[in-house]
Structure 1
Amino acid sequence: MTDAPAELPQLSEIDAEARGHALAIGAAELHGSLCGWLAGGAALKPDWLAAVMADPTVPAPPPGSALDRLARTTLAQFDDRAFGFELLLPPPEASLAERSGALFEWCHGFVGAFGLAAGAQPPLSSESEEALGDLARLARAEPQDDGDDADEEALVEIEEFVRVAALLLHGDCALAPRHRQRLN
């Protein structure tokens, strides 16, 4: 799986393909799950969707499909030395409730799949342990129906925290083992 496109597919494309695969989660949670899976140290294989969903009956996404592009782009973004990693979330013009709900769903997917991939005792730094705990708390949060400019600013800050936390966990569980293998 190489030659990843530079941008993530549209949220609507992923939602449509998730429904086509009869997945019980939306695009944001699915992307969070994929990110948790990769951050936990799992490899991206053609059957990644079945592994992420913990359901061996889920078929592999066809090459070139939106789900395939999502996986290839996400992996490339995680490996990007310029930290170009992005979360697949609704656009800024969406309501605060929609955006915060999607972010918390993303966190829910991330935490679950991270646990599947990394196992019970992942090799985490103290910063990563704290970040994972924060992500787990966000995964249980409720979306906010409405808010003011301060709430909008807070959501942007939380999104950036989640993005950095995912990169930190990926560094501990995926990048560090790869670097150790290269040194040996």
Structure 2
Amino acid sequence: MKIKETELNPTHLKYEELSTLLEQHNILTDASEVHGIFCGMLAGGMALESQDWSAALNDSINQGDSLPNEVQVQLTALYNDTCQQLLETDFTLTLCMPDDSAPINERGKALINWIQGFMLGFGFHQADLTACSADVKEALEDFYEISRMDETMPEDEEAEKALFEVIEYVRVSCMLCFNELGHSADQAQTEPKTVH
């Protein structure tokens, strides 16, 4: 039996679809920033089973109001997919961004939004960085520098290659933070699940 690609890669919620949904509900952010917040919270040590992300998103992207039900459903799916990808041992995390056919500056802006979301989410759970490894501290410093880049990029192969490398660095650094501070796959399997 042939498995559809969407079944292999559960991040079936495309950046464009989710960003459009947020816009329709007057939520002033895009899918990449929301995904960054999720990744930051998880990489900062939020328990995988936690639903704390919902209140944090209400406060940070929806002026403290509850998210509309349709948005909540889609974001819950994205959150669950993100948890699953971070737990995979083969580094399957995919950043929620415009696809490769989108203009380079649109992708660059989405990456900056993702990083800003990550830093926000990470800060919710890791205010004290003294216990973090040098690698995590360096990654966070690099994220801060990348998030401040605002110059437009030329539509050429060299810029494409540079953006690809930065995206890959961010992706791997996110997993590094999660592996150090988040719940590893082993922990998730050995810790008893609490029933609410």
Listed as ranges, the gaps of 5+ residues in structure 2 are 1-7, 192-196
**Mapping 1:8-157, distance limit 5 Å:** 8-43=12-47, 44-46=49-51, 48-55=53-60, 56-59=64-67, 65-121=73-129, 123-142=131-150, 144-157=152-165
CA distance in 1: counterparts of 2:69 and 2:173, whole angstroms: 27
Asked if structure 1 preserves the Cα contact closer than 8 Å seen for 2:105 and 2:153, the reply is: yes
What TM-score do you get using the length of structure 2 for normalisation? 0.79
Aligned position for 1:171: 179
Further displaced range: 72-81 or 7-16: 7-16
TM-superposed CA distance for 1:124, in Å, is 1.6
- CA RMSD across the alignment: 2.9
Asked if structure 2 preserves the Cα contact closer than 8 Å seen for 1:36 and 1:110, the reply is: yes
DSSP-derived class of the 1:41 partner: coil
CA distance in 2: counterparts of 1:136 and 1:94, whole angstroms: 24
Listed as ranges, the gaps of 5+ residues in structure 1 are none
What TM-score do you get using the length of structure 1 for normalisation? 0.83
DSSP-derived class of the 1:65 partner: helix
TM-superposed CA distance for 1:54, in Å, is 3.5
Asked if structure 2 preserves the Cα contact closer than 8 Å seen for 1:37 and 1:52, the reply is: no
- Equivalenced residue count is 180
Identity across the alignment (%)? 28
Aligned position for 2:4: none
DSSP-derived class of the 2:27 partner: coil
Asked if structure 1 preserves the Cα contact closer than 8 Å seen for 2:58 and 2:65, the reply is: no
Asked if structure 2 preserves the Cα contact closer than 8 Å seen for 1:111 and 1:139, the reply is: no
